Amino acid sequence: MKLIVAVSGASGVELALKLMKILKEKSVRLSIVISENAKKVFEHELGINANEVDKILQKFGRVFSNTDFSSELASGSSFCYEGMVVLPCSMKTLATIANGLEINLIARAASVCLKEKKKLVICPRETPLRTVHIENMLKLAMEGAIILPLMMSFYLKEKSYEAMINNILGKILKIFDLEFSKNWRWKE
């Protein structure tokens, strides 16, 4: 399986790292696109120097610059991926994708994913939501994208931070028919 993981400049980059680690363990071939703002979030949330982020992500797959429109991720004719996850997805990235503004590689790859009818999972990270945020999510859902907000699940028996993270990761993996060994479901 081949997937794209895009990391935009919203809080929650730790989830993207954990997802990439799991996907690599499952031998999923990853192409990774990260925005410049996401690199700043890595520094703020995880203490990883923004200049070192690409090197760390290369452990999980091939890293593309968000300005690289010459990559295969930008081409519908050479798009050979099962799908794409935007995790976390900022409201700026959500709006860009929803409105067809292919101004960077994340937005272009998402657009190709939609037009090729591949799975596109959008993981927005914002609260509270404005009407325009909800409208943009609706636009994408109507085109076939899966909107998976980064929300806590209160039905978990274990209420730890790790359990909440595993619940979100389990839901993402399930969309691509990948098993997850951690306890993440409502009822096992």
User: How crowded is residue 50: how many other Cβ atoms within 10 Å of its Cβ?
Assistant: 15
The gap from C-alpha 64 to its chain's centroid, in whole angstroms, comes to: 14
pTM value is 0.94
Q: pLDDT tens across 121-151, in order?
A: 999 999 999 999 999 999 999 999 999 999 8
| Per-residue pLDDT, 182 | 66
Do the strands 83-89 and 146-147 form a parallel or antiparallel pair, or are they unpaired? unpaired
> Which residue is associated with the tokens 């999980």?
60
94-128 tens-digit pLDDT = 999 999 999 999 999 999 999 999 999 999 999 99
CB 125 within 8 A of CB 10: yes
